[in-house]
Amino acid sequence: MSRLLTDWRDRPTHIKVWALAAPMILSNISVPLVALVDSAVIGHLPHAHQLGAVAVGASLYTFLAWVMGFLRMGSTGFAAQAAGRADGAALRQVLLQGLLLALLFSLLLGLLALPFSHLALQLMQPTAALEQSTHDFFQTRLLGLPAALASFALVGWFLGTQNAKAPLAILLTTNLLNIALNLWFVLGLDWGVIGSARASVIAEWSAALLGLALTRPALRAYPGQIAWALLARWQSWRPLLSVNRDIFIRSLALQAVFFLITVQGTRLGEATVAANALLLNGLLLTAYALDGLAHAVEALCGHAIGAGDRQALRRSLTVACGWSLLASSGFAVLFLLGGHLFINMQTDIANVRETAYQYLPYLALLPLIAVWSYLLDGLFIGATRAREMRNGMLLSVLIALPVAYVARDLGNHGLWLGFLLFMALRGVTLGVMGWRLQRRDGWFVR
């Protein structure tokens, strides 16, 4: 306990954590704000199927994009460890490899996207109006996919170099421009659901181009040259692809859970799927804010591992853990006391509001349960321990799915109970694996 208090009282570590976390929290919060603005703008249109279309279409797009989340996570861990070694050549290699993979996977997903959307909507069994609006939204959003994946790689690389200003610029550009264009296109030009999708596409391309421009000044701090001959060899790609493979499987399992929530919610009716979308916006708000601290853990712990500094690793994790617990408690109180206002801000459709009110207690519990998985994700990403992340996620899904299936007769309550169990299992499985690694000093042994 005395060591824990000593680590918590280390002022320089607090400064380092917040120097990275504060800009990332600011920029991350802008991401769910886009979803909130989308919901608020579309939610005040006359028909529930319009709000449902944005919810379902965004869910399909998010599923495709975020299974590629390894482009950010893999880049962060390897860039952080290269920065810890002051290896400029390795940093350049990680950046270029991330961008090339983003281009490759955007082309591959573009080929799979339309068959995927048709199959998904068949499973959801939506009304005709909801299905047509969802198709229109989703097909337009696909135009921004290459830029979104490139931004993943860029943000991850910048975080690994402990540069929080560039990700701040990229994410704020994406999300603030998206908000402004949403208001203009949907309310000003009356483009409806299509206008919301077009706003996102323009914002994603603008941010990706800005991120590419910011790499040049960032590289000046780490002199070096790209080893082109090494880049052409399979061995230079193998570590990144190995980590990315495991993170991909982990991300696929995670997005499958969110996708199943949308599928089951859609089967329960338009009001239910719309209400769940509004509630999940609260989860997004919490997750993206707490991820700011998790991003600090990724960069600082990865740097400490690259430098072989055990004390810095322990102190970074302790300080980030303390602040994460305080922040998650604040979000829980916010949703418990102000949840009705949160829902009312997003829609004035009466039956959607009444449906969402019933499930607000679940939203209040989520931050306290989910915070541990966010924090531990940051530690494992910084350590490039993707295999453990994959195994923990798969185990959580395998345990939670049967419980959710048994609880399906409880309707949307059963859906939320299964989701809470899943989020709790994520933290437990990673915690056990982290404890086992710590016992054998495994963070510094590969």
Tracing tokens 């460890």 back to the chain, one arrives at: 81
State how far the Cα of 59 lies from the Cα of 311, in Å rounded to an integer: 41
Structure confidence at residue 348 as a pLDDT band (50, 70, 90): confident
Contact 373, 414 (CB under 8 A): no
Residue 51 confidence class, pLDDT cut points 50, 70, 90: low
Instruction: Compute the distance between CA of residue 316 and CA of residue 314 in angstroms, rounded to an integer.
Output: 6
Query: Which tokens sit at 22?
Result: 């504060």
- H helical segments located in 383-411: 386-406
List of residues 6+ apart from 245 with CB closer than 8 A: 70, 386
Does an H or E element contain 108, and which?
helix 88-124
Q: Maximum distance among all alpha carbons in the chain?
A: 63
Residue 29 is which amino acid? I
Q: Burial level of 78, CB count in 10 A (0-12/13-18/19+)?
A: buried
Measured from the Cβ of residue 264, the count of other Cβ atoms closer than 10 Å reads 21
Kindly report, residue by residue over 373-388, the tens digit of the pLDDT: 999 988 888 887 888 9
Give residue 81's identity as a one-letter amino acid code: Q
State the Cα–Cα distance between residues 365 and 148, nearest whole angstrom: 31
Does residue 73 contact residue 247 with C-beta atoms inside 8 Å? yes
Distance CA 273, CA 356 (A): 10
Query: How many residues in the chain?
Result: 446
Q: What is the pLDDT of residues 180-232, one digit of tens each?
A: 888 888 777 878 778 888 888 898 899 999 999 998 887 887 877 777 777 66
**pLDDT-above-70 percentage for the chain:** 90
pLDDT above 90: percentage of residues in the chain: 16
* Cα–Cα distance, 351 to 367 (Å, whole number): 26
Residue 384 DSSP SS3: coil
Nearest in space to 264 (alpha carbons), one of 93, 120, 124:
124
- Residue 174's pLDDT is 82
Instruction: Report d(CA 364, CA 331) in Å as an integer.
Output: 7
Rounded (5°) CA angle 32-257-245: 95
At 117-142, the pLDDT tens digits run 777 777 666 667 667 777 778 888 88
Tokens of 47: 């028909």
How large is the average pLDDT for residues 23-31? 68
Q: What is the pLDDT of residues 259-293, one digit of tens each?
A: 787 777 777 777 887 788 888 888 888 887 888 88
